[in-house]
Every structure is written in structure tokens, then in C-alpha cells.
Amino acid sequence: MKADYLIIGSGIAGLTIAIKLAEQFPDRKIIIVTKSSKEESNTQYAQGGIAVVMDEINDNFEKHIADTLICGDGLCDKEVVEIVVTEGPERLQELIDWGVQFDRTETGRLDLVKEGGHSDYRVVHHKDETGKEIERAVLAKAQQNDNIEFLDYHFAVDLLVADNRCNGAVVLDEKSGQQFLIYADFTVLATGGIGQLYQHTTNSVIATGDGIAMAIRANAEVDDMEFVQFHPTALYAKSEHTFLISEAVRGFGAHLKTKNGHRFMFGYDLRGELASRDIVSRSIETELKKSGEACVYLDCTHLEINAFQKHFPAITQYCWKQGIDVVKDWIPVFPTQHYLCGGITVNSFGQTSVENLFACGECSRTGLHGANRLASNSLLEAVVYAHRIFLFLKNKEIVSANVVFTLEDKLNKPQVSEEFIRDRDSMLRNLIQQNVGIVRNNEDLEKKKQQLLIWQEEFQSITQNYKLSKELGELRNKITVAFSMVVSSLKRTENRGCFYCDR
Ligand code: FAD
Ligand code: SIN
């Protein structure tokens, strides 16, 4: 197949770029490859909202910039922070123009809420299901364009790179098991996060770090892979998927308590429950180690219940189904993996170190987050960078490279057993959960690095000798990303933001 633009991923980042290119160039072809249903993504689960300065009386850009820099613990790129914060309002207006419905006050103004690390009310939201609403509207908008072709249930395997120039990707049709090549003049990785490397994560099943692994194999630069953000308040419950209790619930006034009712956060930070995520997660971890308990609690019982249920209908309902009545019960919560601050290194127009290859959204490392992301800055980063990639590509001629890649037919090769993939995956997730968590240790990391090296070699031979499936490809990618996270952790010598090592 051949496209002018190949976009891998159909979350907020991929869809936003696709819409802009499709509208600007009605005669050019855009292919979106996405490995699950079109909607399945981290975007779809975003709860809290998008942080944008919209209250010009109390809030201003300087305050949002300062909050982002403080949260990033000295490692943000200030210029990038300024770009993202100041371009936010225009990008938000675009989402509204595309049909995203954000909650409004009785006077028609956007309803702004607060989250951890924010000094003001600036999080724009759609109840507690902001991501679902964004994905709905943006996907509908993308589907109106005839020059965008969706290939859902298609797994991008590897990039087609020659002489440090990207020319498209190898793609697996998950239904037929057939691999094929898509040639493209420009390729964008918008493949999201890495949560599925952990046993406990708020992330979607798609978050297996594929884009980052492909970029690593293509020799693109990646950075800040040690900065994994843990969300302090995932619901502690027996269920397959770990459900998030939004930070906005604490912004609304909920208290974090131990089983005995001690409101412990003020013992760690003057901002109490609204300290930044790294601090709250580490404080909970310390409390849990002290008590030997498995969870702490969010107490919402003192809050105005009608307003709470109106703002958080999905959370209220989910808790109810788990037998928790937020009106009278405390919600059991524990910290879980949530977000990767690092990723594929890009410049301020989303360009990676490989020519004609771009990265956008959670898989990219722009410099915005530094050592720790400020709540609700991720959706914002995705739309701002999608626009900047579009601006760059708008002025670029389409010049197809004269290169031909060949694809080895692996259809007749044997299949790796499902049991092997399940077992290895479970060992990997256990290794990462235990060793690349909220508090790390160099000695353990060094040992695990050796184990990951062995698995990497093993997978090199497996992928050559066996038929590729999505599950096998994902596992190979997870091992590649895990190795990169461990190596980066070992390189960091001081504790910053969400990286903490007791050495
Ligand atoms: P995603 O939305 O994850 O999309 C990735 C896409 O890539 C998917 O379509 C996937 O199928 C596809 N893909 C991946 N690998 C391949 C492959 N090999 N081949 C083909 N396709 C592939 N951020 C905020 O700013 N505010 C919030 O309130 C907020 N709440 C959150 C709540 C939860 C529970 C979670 C998990 C995250 C939250 N975040 C929030 C973070 C934010 O949602 C994500 O960082 C952001 O949506 C990522 O968007 P993306 O487009 O980069 O990736
Ligand atoms: C949340 O709603 O707590 C998630 C916000 C975020 O990840 O930015």
C-alpha cells in the first residue's frame, strides 16, 4: 500500500493530526493504522480533563507554566512548557469546534476544576469521562474525511528505515495473519503509553510501548524512560481492569485517610491531598509499608453529594457496582502505573531523530513533563504537538524516496504457543512491577537488566523463526521498552520527580 501520510494510532494524537492533514490536502491520502477497535486507547479512559488557562481573571499563563515547572522538578524544557501552555486555548477551541462537549456552568462558561499540583481552577472536562467524549467527537470528525483510510485491527510491526529516513511501516493484518508494507512519505507514531508492562495499571490494553520499541529498533533517540508516573488513587478492587478514581475527586475536596481515619497527607506536604502525584503516591506507599495494609481510602462522605454525583457519575456508578456507596463508604485506593513521562525524543515540531518520522502524544518525549507530568497536561500536549506537526508538514513537499523493501514470508513458520506468551508476559510484568516501581534499587535493577538482555536475545531468535502474531509482537516490544527503562533508571544518579531510588 502507499500513502502520503501514515499515522500509527487512533487516540487523540493520531486523529488530530489526521484531521488537519486531510482538511488541508483533500487530494492526499492518509492511512491510520490502529491495532484494536478505532476507539480503544488511553485517550478514551481520560477522566479529569484538559488543563488550559481559560479564567483570565484569576488564572494566567505564568501560573500554569510555573505549576508545570514545579511538578517537573527542574527537568522540564521551559521553552516547550511556554509553547504548550500558551497555545492551549486555541487548541481547546478547535476541539469545541469539532463537537467536543465540555461541561459548562449555569452562565455558560466552561466549568473549570482543580487537580493536584495546580494553583488554580483550569481543568476543562466532560463530567468524569472527558476522554470518552473527546474520542467520540474527534473520531467522528476524522471519519467525515474521504481521504482518511482506517485500517483497524492492524498491528504496526516495524518501521521501514533506510539511511536514517523513514519510508513507512510493516503492518500485520490481525485477522488474516498476513504482513504487508505500507510506503509513506511521512510517518507519525502516535501509539500511546506503556502501562501493560506493569501488573497494575490504569492504562488500556493497547498500551504496550509498541511505538517506542519500533523507534528504538530504528535507532531513533528516546529519553527520560525512567520517569514513570504512578497515579495515587486507582480503585483497590478485585477486577481485571484497574479503574481510576480521578484526581479531580481530591480537587473536589475528598480526603485521603488510613484505615484508622488518619488524614496523613499534610504530614508529607503543605498542599495535602493536592500535592503533585509523585509526592502523593510516594506518601501512600510509605503509609502502606508502615501499616502493612494493601490500600488507603478516599473519603467523600463530607462532600455535597448531589454535586458530586453530577460531576462524577461514572465513578459513582462504578463504585456502586463494586459494592461501594460513596455517600457513606470510603473508597479503597492504591497507587498504580499511569503514565510514561519520557519516550521518543522530538523537537518542537514533533520531529524525531529519524528523517520523516514524527512522534506525538504519550509515546513522545517533548520536554514538557520533565521528571513528572502535571495532571491533565497530557491531552493538552497531544493537541498542541499534533498542530505543530501539521504546521511543519503543511509546508513540506511530497517527495517519494526510491527505495524498495522486501518482506520475508513467515506464514509457513510455526506459531509460538499461547501458553509461552502468557507465561513470559506474566514474568515480565512481575519483574517490572517489583523493580521499576515507585521506589527502586540499583542492585536489583542491575540484576534485572541481565535478565532482560537474555529475553531480548531469545526474542530476536523467536521473531526470526516463528510466525508473528500481535501478542508476540507486543511482548517483544514490551521487553525492548523494559530494557530501556531499566538502563535509564540505572543512569540516573539523583532522585527527581517520579524517579526515586533508595540505591
Ligand atoms: P492513545 O490514546 O493511547 O492512543 C494510542 C493508539 O495507538 C491506539 O489507537 C492504539 O491502538 C494504537 N497503537 C498502539 N500500538 C500500535 C501498533 N503497534 N500498531 C497499531 N496501532 C497501535 N491525561 C490528561 O491530560 N487528562 C486526564 O484526565 C487523563 N486521564 C487519564 C485517565 C486514565 C485512566 C488514563 C489511562 C490516562 C489518562 N490521561 C489523562 C493520559 C492521557 O489519556 C493519555 O496520555 C493520552 O490520551 C494519550 O493519547 P495518545 O493519542 O498519545 O495515545
Ligand atoms: C485523573 O483524572 O486523575 C487523571 C488526570 C491525568 O492523568 O492527567
3-state DSSP assignment of residue 33: strand
329 and 474 both lie in a single domain: no
**Is the pLDDT at 31 greater than 70, yes or no?**
yes
* Sequential DSSP letters for 79-138: HHHHHHHHHHHHHHHHHHHTT----B-TTSSBPEE--TT-SS--EE-STT-HHHHHHHHH
> Closest ligand 2 atom, CA of 229?
7
3-class state of residue 139 by DSSP: helix
179 and 328: one domain? no
pLDDT at 474 over 90: yes
Residue 503 binned pLDDT confidence (cut-offs 50, 70, 90): confident
Cell numbers standing for residue 453: 538482555
Cβ neighbourhood burial of 383 (10 Å; 0-12, 13-18, 19+): buried
205 and 175 share one domain: yes
Shared domain for 382 and 299, answered yes or no, is no
More confident residue, 41 or 412: 41
Residue 340's pLDDT band (boundaries 50, 70, 90)? very high
- CB of 442 closer than 8 Å to CB of 503: yes
Same-domain pairing of 162 and 272: no
Q: How far is CA 278 from the centre of its chain?
A: 16
**Residue type (1 letter), 177:** G
Ligand positioned closest to the Cα atom of 245: 2
Looking at 319, 338, 357, the residue that finishes a domain is 338
Active-site residue, from 122, 250, 277, 424 = 277
130: left (phi over 0), alpha (psi -120 to 50) or beta: alpha
The ligand 1 atom at the shortest distance from the C-alpha of residue 360 is 52
Task: Tell me if 362 CB under 6 Å of ligand 1.
Answer: yes
Same domain assignment for residues 12 and 148? yes
Domain count, the chain: 3
pLDDT single digits (tens) 74-106: 999 999 999 999 999 999 999 999 999 999 999
Residue 399 is predicted with a pLDDT of 82
277 given a catalytic annotation: yes
The residue ranges of DSSP E strands in 323-446, in sequence order, are 331-340, 343-345, 357-359, 364-365
The finding on whether 378 has its CB within 6 A of some atom of ligand 1 is yes
pLDDT in tens, 388-424: 999 999 999 888 778 999 997 667 899 999 999 999 9
Q: What is the mean pLDDT of residues 296-322?
A: 97
Percent of the chain with pLDDT over 90: 95
**297 and 434 inside one domain:** no
- What is the SS3 assignment for 292-334? CCCCEEEECCCCCHHHHHHHCHHHHHHHHHCCCCCCCCCEEEE
pLDDT in tens, 227-266: 999 999 999 998 888 999 999 999 999 999 999 999 999 9
Q: What is the pTM of this model?
A: 0.98
Condensed to tens digits (0 to 9), the pLDDT of residues 448-462 reads: 999 999 999 999 999
Nearest ligand to residue 42 Cα:
1
SS3 content of the chain, % helix, strand, coil (to 5): 40, 20, 40
**Interval between CA 66 and ligand 2 midpoint (Å):** 19
Q: Which domain holds residue 138?
A: 2-227+341-394
- The pLDDT assigned to 372 comes to 97
End position of a domain, from candidates 338, 356, 384: 338
CATH number reported for the structural domain that contains residue 462 in this entry: 1.20.58.100
pLDDT of residue 138: 98
Ligand 1 pocket residue status of 34, Cβ below 6 Å:
yes
Q: What is the CATH number of the domain that holds 361?
A: 3.50.50.60
CA distance 286 to 289: 5
Candidates 44, 115, 273: which one to mutate for ligand 2, based on the most atoms within 8 Å of Cβ?
115
3-state secondary structure of 219: coil
Q: Is residue 403 part of a domain?
A: no
Report pLDDT for 409: 67
Tell me: the pLDDT tens digits for 371-396? Answer: 999 999 999 999 999 999 999 999 99
User: What single-letter DSSP state applies at residue 244?
Assistant: B
Based on the fold, state whether residues 177 and 62 are members of the same structural domain. yes
The helix (H) or strand (E) run that includes residue 208 is none
pLDDT of residue 402: 84
Residue 453's CB is within 10 A of a number of other CB atoms, namely 14
Rounded distance, CA 42 to CA 10, Å? 10
Q: Which atom of ligand 2 is nearest to the CA of 115?
A: 3
Please provide the DSSP assignment of 162-204 as one string.
ETTEEEEEEEEETTT--EEEEEEEEEEE-----GGGSSSBSS-
Same domain, 429 and 293: no
Q: Is the CB of 13 under 6 A from ligand 1?
A: yes
Question: Do residues 221 and 255 share a domain?
Answer: no
Q: Which of 47, 235, 250 to mutate to test the pocket of ligand 2 (most atoms within 8 A of CB)?
A: 47
What are the angstrom distances between the C-alpha of 375 and each of 25, 122, 380?
Answer: 35, 11, 10
Compute CA distances 59 → 200, 208, 229, 304, 402, whole Å.
36, 37, 26, 25, 52
Question: Do 88 and 161 sit in the same domain of this protein?
Answer: yes
Res 400: pLDDT: 79
Average of per-residue pLDDT values in the chain: 96
CATH number of the domain at 264, please.
Answer: 3.90.700.10
Q: Is the CB of 36 under 6 A from ligand 1?
A: yes
Q: Which mutation among 244, 245, 250, 337 tests ligand 2's pocket best, with the greatest number of atoms within 8 A of CB?
A: 244
CA count, 13 A, side-chain hemisphere, 258: 18
Among all bound ligands, the one having the nearest atom to the CA of 92 is: 1
- Ligand 1 atom nearest to 247, measured from its CA: 28
**Is 433 found in the same domain as 377?**
no
Q: Considering every ligand atom shown, identify the ligand nearest to the alpha carbon of residue 210 and give its number.
A: 1
Condensed to tens digits (0 to 9), the pLDDT of residues 162-212 reads 999 999 999 999 999 999 999 999 999 999 999 999 999 999 999 999 999
What residue ranges in 304-446 does DSSP mark as E strands?
331-340, 343-345, 357-359, 364-365
